[in-house]
Amino acid sequence: MAVVDQHVERRLAAILAADVAGYSRLTGADEEGTLGRLRAMRKDVVDPTISTHHGHIVKTTGDGMLVEFASVVDAVRCAVELQRQMMERNTGIAGDKQINFRIGINLGDVVVEPDGDLMGDGVNVAARLENIAPPGGICLSRAAYDQVKGKIAVAMHDRGQQRLKNIAEPVQVYMVDPAGARLPTLPKPNLRSITVATAAILALTAIGGGGAWYLRGGMVTHAPQTVAPPRTAPRLSIVVLPFTNLSGDPGQDYFADAVTDSLTTDLSRIQGSFVISRNTAFTYKGKAIDIRQIGRELGVRYALEGSVQRAGDQVRVNAQLIDTETGGHVWSDRFDRPRSNYLELQDDITGRIARMLGLELVVLAARSIELEHQTNPTASDLSLQGWAALYKPAAPETREEARRLFERALDLDPHTLRAMTGLSLTLANRVINGQSPNPVEDLRRADALSQQAVRLDPNNAAAHAQRARVLQAQRRQNEAAEEYRVSLQINGNIPTTTLFLGETLVFTGKSADAIPLFERAIELSPRDPGVGTWQFEMGRAMTLLRRDDEALAWLSKSVATNPRLAYGQLYFAAIMAIRGDLSAARAALVAAGRLNPNYTTLAKFRATDLSDDPAYVEQRAYVEEALRKAGLPEQ
């Protein structure tokens, strides 16, 4: 009898696999309650969202589901909306009772079973991606990512090639978070049974940074050590080291620094790249350090270094790309251009490096570089000097120096984009820091400049970030968050933008969601001169969440890194009062008031805070009570 081959139905499909993180723990603690809430979420959130995005539920299990889509874009949009709605539903629910989905999405060939079930590697990869996704997170395969990049306004991060269980070949994985640039939370140290002084020192070491920690006069001080490296460097990771000024004139340093800044910005636009921020890179300026050591310290595969020689209106740039694992030169070249076309020169360098790494630069319509070709060269030069002043250690005189330079640039050419964004940022920060002689006028002008910059180049990440900063100064935190997300979608490697997005979440009562963003900012610029502020942001979030041990660790680290940070001292006073060390709390309170007169009464503190969101105000009451305990008067 002849054997007839049975037809196997196959098709290409976008597969979404989802399950509930910690399902066994949830049902073990409250089976009926968990199942009831899960059924309600299926009815109110999951099923309607899948239907809206044209998905088809193939099958469900107790805690999971398999969904088929004809379009990967529809699948990812559905996943993002699901996760955002789940975040909203979890608001106000204790962490151990929250229901969080993990989602994996793959595009692949599937086998259709007679009963309608789907089988094959297309399904298996999606299921394995779901297994490695963090709670509330979404993981995509490279096949899925290629179909959605540039089509959905959400940040995506290349997590490199991953070995997935029972999948033969490694899979390139991209992580998406509906809140922005969120990454998995790092493990938290357990310090509950340790004395305050010991807890502070051990917590700082546990969180990172190394070196020696000690107490002096009630203040924690740190002798730093180089940052511990990750075990492996991502293939598309790079640091742009400060270019050397060979002009023989120290006054031209700002020009070499500007070339470095521009290259850092452009390289960070490469899809899937990991680029160390300029502030961390500049800690190596003028130091003779082995490239391989830099690679180990920063966890990067490549380093770009070079020199700039400027004579009159001519500029010569030498650049070389080095493999930090071997110390070998991958590529080198020399570029000669007129000074007025140095941005074209910088674009040429970036393009060649991108091709060397086998990458595609993100294509931006009406790029700021093209716009700046039309800018008055002297105005552009003054703008670069203004940004060089902003990168100096924060002080009223450096901010004033930057403001004057930006003003001069705009007097020469009102369309100089770098001067617009720089002046807008300078004025907004004067208002935010309570150091403006005329807050109403400064904020009005910052607002106008930020809007003008976004209109001039809507694809410029810095323009959107500076617009967001102005919105923060106006206490419009939700609108600011959207602008920061737009900025990060254009360029996801800017640590300050990542940090300030987290700050907007803190000011809207979502400190738990802000923590991964703060971690990401520190990861992008681990040696940043401003890291004391970033440590404060983490400490404030922990305080508002009443995670006192972790708050103590981060705030102790912040005041040790930068004891002149007024808000760092203020929150350190609060956490020391919470921990019962009133002597240290009062000393920090005096320091905070000396550094900023807005921190001499609770009324002034409230008046200068950047949010009156009810959820945030309710959380802040915990801090206010601690400050009263430390001795801060009401009026």
For 425-476, what is each residue's pLDDT tens digit? 999 988 887 778 899 999 999 999 999 998 888 778 889 999 999 999 999 9
What confidence tens digit (pLDDT) does each residue in 500-512 have? 999 999 999 999 9
| Burial of residue 323, with CB atoms counted within 10 A of its CB: 0-12 exposed, 13-18 middle, 19 or more buried | middle
- Dist. CA 607–CA 475, nearest whole Å: 12
Homologous superfamily of 364-491 in CATH?
Tetratricopeptide repeat domain (1.25.40.10)
pLDDT value of position 205:
31
Retrieve residue 86's tokens: 């789940």
pLDDT value of position 613:
92
- Dist. CA 501–CA 154, nearest whole Å: 13
pLDDT value of position 446:
94
Tell me which of 3.40.50.2020, 3.40.50.10610, 3.30.2130.10, 3.30.1330.60 is the CATH number of domain 237-361.
Answer: 3.40.50.10610
Q: Among residues of the chain, what percentage have pLDDT more than 90?
A: 31
Q: b/e map of 536-571 (b: 16 or more CB within 10 Å)?
A: bbbbbbbbbbebbbbbbbbbbbbbbbbbebbbbbbb
Positive or negative torsion for Cα 209, 214, 218, 219: negative
Of 140-144, 331-335, 630-634, the range with the lowest mean pLDDT is 331-335
Closest by alpha carbon to 37, among 101, 129, 130? 101
Element (H, E) at 216: strand 212-216
DSSP 249-264: -GGGHHHHHHHHHHHH
What class is the 9-176 domain?
Answer: alpha beta
Retrieve residue 193's tokens: 């049974």
pLDDT value of position 63:
79
pLDDT value of position 272:
62
Q: Of residues 476 and 326, which shows the higher confidence score?
A: 476
Question: For the chain, what are the domain ranges?
Answer: 9-176, 237-361, 364-491
Q: Of residues 345 and 221, which shows the higher confidence score?
A: 345
Q: Is 244 helix (H, G, I), strand (E, B) or coil?
A: strand
pLDDT value of position 365:
29
End-to-end CA distance of the chain: 99
Q: Is 72 helix (H, G, I), strand (E, B) or coil?
A: helix
Position 61 confidence tier, pLDDT thresholds 50, 70, 90: confident
Cα distances (Å, whole numbers) of residue 591 to 63, 152, 218, 567, 571? 52, 47, 12, 10, 11
Determine how many CB atoms are found less than 10 A away from the CB of residue 200: 28
Position 177 confidence tier, pLDDT thresholds 50, 70, 90: low
pLDDT value of position 193:
29
Position 623 confidence tier, pLDDT thresholds 50, 70, 90: very high
Dmax over CA atoms of the chain, in Å, equals 99
